[in-house]
Amino acid sequence: MKKILLIATGGTIASKSGDMGLKPHMDSAYMLDYVPEIRSFCKVDGVQPYNIDSTNITPKHWVELATVIRDNYADYDGFVICHGTDTMAYTAAALSYMVQHSPKPIVLTGSQKPIHREDTDARINLRDSFLYATSDGAADVVIVFQGKVIAGTRAKKIRTKSYNAFDSMDFPVLANIRDGRIIQYIQTPKAAAPEFYLNLDERVGVLTLTPGMKGEVLDMYFRCYTAVVLSGYGTGGIPEGEYYGFYDVIQSWEGKGKTLAVTTQVQHEGSDMDVYQVGRGWKNRFDLLEGYNLTYEAITTKLMWILGLTSDDNEIRKLFYKNINYDLIG
């Protein structure tokens, strides 16, 4: 029997109702009692580094998670992390950069309803996660949710209440799990050993453009953050002209140790700043990074990882365009 470490962090799956609504309450042992069949096909230990609503997650929590995995890596065949759904995609992306090329699976899961409720999706998600964590083909960081196995950098929460809350953005699911059977579509190559990175730079901000927004807002972001992700329109367009003032703001911050990355607000197919003048002009003039098909969650956490390693512009660019756990495709 394989040995799996359950890392409980809170979230809806572990919640009970209180005066102010749902709040994380249960620990790992209590949740496992609701799915006793898990212990029939693997050995399980549990740890609880924290017990929070995932809305309150911070990069410090990601460092704590990666540290727990690193410290226990030699003793287990895989890891299952119970997590709230609201920021699960961010955590999955962050761990994809912090624990790279893991030959052992690191599976995140959760639920839209608490595990103790009759109509919950939690039990099947938890069972499926352990099934996948014990399978020989599993590796690296993934989300298992509603029968889908999604690469950690491709996941996005697309529904707030429905059980099929997550999707794999512009990339096939790695596997499906149906009636306890794993149908593997994409086999992740297994490395000899993982690479752990425990330093993150939290000073990454995402600014979503809205019609009429002035450059002063971007200037304030540059004052507050080491890197700014500018979420443009369509294929990555940024408004031009004196009315907006973005050109002058970006020019004023050149050479001052700031990183600018441009992405798109459109959910599918990514950016392509070369299509229109409102994209190509900016790309030709400034030494910016283009997000292409990196998700919001991936581009934000990837920059945190990169800036935790280096402040050299050339090295930042090199690492940004390095494909990690399917984050850059095409």
Which residue is associated with the tokens 């809350």?
Answer: 165
Is residue 125 within 8 A of residue 111, CB to CB? The reply is: yes
User: What does the alpha-carbon distance between residue 92 and residue 155 come to, in Å, rounded to a whole number?
Assistant: 8
Is residue 42 within 8 A of residue 4, CB to CB? The reply is: yes
Q: Which residue out of 9, 12, 134, 295 is catalytically annotated?
A: 12
The distance of Cα 311 from the centroid of its chain, to the nearest Å, equals 23
Specify the DSSP class assigned to residue 190: P
Task: Tell which phi-psi region holds residue 231, choosing left (phi > 0), alpha (psi between -120 and 50) or beta.
Answer: beta
Residue closest to 109 by CA, chosen among 94, 134, 91, 135: 91
Is residue 259 within 8 A of residue 303, CB to CB? The reply is: yes
Which residue is associated with the tokens 């460092």?
Answer: 63
- Give the three-class secondary structure for 45: strand
N-terminal to C-terminal alpha carbon distance within the chain: 39
In the chain, the amino acid numbered 232 is G
- Residue 64: count other Cβ atoms within 10 Å of its Cβ: 16
Q: In the chain, which ranges are continuous DSSP H helix?
A: 28-32, 38-41, 59-72, 88-98, 122-133, 215-224, 246-252, 277-285, 296-307, 313-320
Has 210 been annotated as catalytic?
no
Is residue 14 within 8 A of residue 109, CB to CB? The reply is: no
Residues with active-site annotation: 12
